[in-house]
Structure 1
């Protein structure tokens, strides 16, 4: 499992597995957000399997799927609500982590400036510079 730390309270990851939940809980994560629709690719664990393992490990689990490069306002608001209400560190995942970090940058729960969000993503290994205009909305 590869975790990219974005801020003190938030990280993203490519696809995780049910067996990763105990390790995440042990690392101090309290909330997991899945940003993948079920059945996106063969071999992908189901949302139900991840949810069951997360809850068994004492983690809150939320499913906010986005696909096709679209980040609809309801998904951004849901992501922001989960982040704002989270008690402790949050890990969001998708196929590569890009959708998750994009949702976080658009939600801007930590009230960072545009440049700060782009730089935080860059430090975590993601280039969000093409979103500069949309981040200013």
Structure 2
């Protein structure tokens, strides 16, 4: 696993396996967010398999599929709620990029735009393509 910390309570990763979930729980993670649509993967790592692994590890689990290019206000809201205050959270997708996009959009208007982009860049994710959306969301929250 390649965990990349975006905040004190949120890390993102590329695809994980069901057998990784117990190690994540042992490392202190309490919430697992799956942003990978089932259409991209085989059944051994689909949302049902990952939900079962999270349940066995005692973790809260959220399946919030983010299809490339199809971010919605509801998806941002659901991601915000899933990652808020339940303890250390790990979110994953194919590479961690879509999770980082959702985190950035959830932070728009709460953190300075430059800080959001710098945090993503430091974690290895270029969010320049969604920078206009971050700015637009931030302006709506003012």
Alignment partners' CA distance in 1, 2:31 and 2:41: 24
Normalising by structure 1, we get a TM-score of: 0.92
| CA deviation profile, 1:49-91 (whole Å, cap 9, x unmatched) | 111011110110000111122211110111111122x421111
The structure that is helix-richer by fraction is 2
Alignment partners' CA distance in 1, 2:17 and 2:64: 17
Could you list the structure 1 runs, at least 4 aligned residues long, displaced by more than 2 angstroms after superposition. 41-44
The secondary structure found in structure 2 opposite 1:39 is helix
Aligned residues: 136
Contact 2:43 2:49 in 1 (8 A): no
Alignment of 1:29 with 2:34, yes or no, is no
Alignment partners' CA distance in 1, 2:28 and 2:51: 17
Which structure 1 segments of 5+ residues have no match? none
Which residue matches 1:72?
72
Matches within 5 A, 1:69-108: 69-84=69-84, 86-108=85-107
Root-mean-square deviation over aligned CA pairs: 1.7
| CA deviation profile, 1:73-130 (whole Å, cap 9, x unmatched) | 110111111122x421111100111110100100118921111111111111101122
Alignment partners' CA distance in 2, 1:45 and 1:110: 35
Contact 1:34 1:93 in 2 (8 A): yes
Which residue matches 2:19?
19
Normalising by structure 2, we get a TM-score of: 0.89
Which structure 2 segments of 5+ residues have no match? 137-142
Contact 1:83 1:109 in 2 (8 A): no
Which residue matches 2:7?
7
